[in-house]
Amino acid sequence: MWWIAAGILAVGALAGGPLVSNVEQAKYELVESQDKIEIRNYSPMIVAEVEVSGERKEAINKGFRLIADYILGNNTTKENVAMTSPVIQETSQKIAMTSPVTQEGTEGKWKERFVMPASYTIDNLPKPNNTEVNLKNIPNKYFVVIRFSGLASQENLKENTDLLNAFIKEKNFKPISNETYAFYNPPWTIPILRRNEVMIEIEYTKHLD
């Protein structure tokens, strides 16, 4: 399980556990909010990314192991890279512009991403030894985000994805990505305190009504 790898990370320099509130998080500016939905302007970032196939939970386990292996020293300088949050997962297929896309967690391809610490540039990050791990520069982007607690079950993810798509349609925003899932906590976190998010990139051109 990928959370076993998370536990291994917690033993070393990441004492206190990965994916908790005291680790570095992806940086963004809160632009506007309505109820539990936010529009965020994410700063440029560097991510380590892998593409894996299979059911959603199986894919995130595999993807986590691959990227954890990289940040634990399987790289050209044998350097440990500090872990950040969240762990990001998205389908690798583009969203259809004519209708909402909902993730059912069946067979498919997934992109798993870790955001790299902001102190690095693409030039001074250690390069992965595993060719399945790719480092990418991501420009600043606007996302509509819904945050929820509880388990990241397929039912909860679908329910919140549907709410997010309904909001996007109501506000006449143009989605330009598939939905992305963001997970912030280890499994021993009690459900009510967990932070999960569904995110969809949009063309942001106006304020909420």
Q: What is the CATH number of the domain that holds 130?
A: 3.20.80.10
Q: In 3D, which of 42, 112, 109 has the Cα closest to residue 71? A: 112
Tell me the DSSP string of 13-28.
Answer: TTTT-SSSTTS-B--E
Integer Cα distance of 165 and 171 in angstroms: 10
Integer Cα distance of 185 and 191 in angstroms: 10
Integer Cα distance of 103 and 86 in angstroms: 19
Helix and strand element counts for the chain (H, E) = 3, 10
pLDDT at residue 99, rounded to an integer = 24
Within a domain: residue 163?
Answer: yes
Where does the pLDDT of residue 161 fall: very low under 50, low under 70, confident under 90, or very high at 90 and above?
A: very high
Within a domain: residue 208?
Answer: no
Within a domain: residue 123?
Answer: yes
Within a domain: residue 77?
Answer: yes
Question: pTM for the whole thing?
Answer: 0.77
pLDDT at residue 209, rounded to an integer = 55
- 17-31, 47-61, 106-120: which has the minimum mean pLDDT? 17-31
Host domain of residue 97? 2-203
Mean pLDDT, rounded, for 101-116: 62
Q: Over 70: is that where the pLDDT of 5 sits?
A: no
Where does the pLDDT of residue 139 fall: very low under 50, low under 70, confident under 90, or very high at 90 and above?
A: very high
Within a domain: residue 170?
Answer: yes
Q: Over 80: is that where the pLDDT of 154 sits?
A: yes
Higher pLDDT, 208 or 191: 191
Within a domain: residue 198?
Answer: yes
Burial of 157 (0-12, 13-18, 19+ CB in 10 A): buried
Cis peptide bond upstream of 86, omega within 30: yes
Q: Over 90: is that where the pLDDT of 52 sits?
A: no
181 near 194, Cβ under 8 Å?
no
Residue 95 CB neighbour total at 10 angstroms: 18
Biggest distance spanned by C-alpha atoms of the chain: 51
Q: How many domains does the chain have?
A: 1
Within a domain: residue 126?
Answer: yes
Within a domain: residue 209?
Answer: no
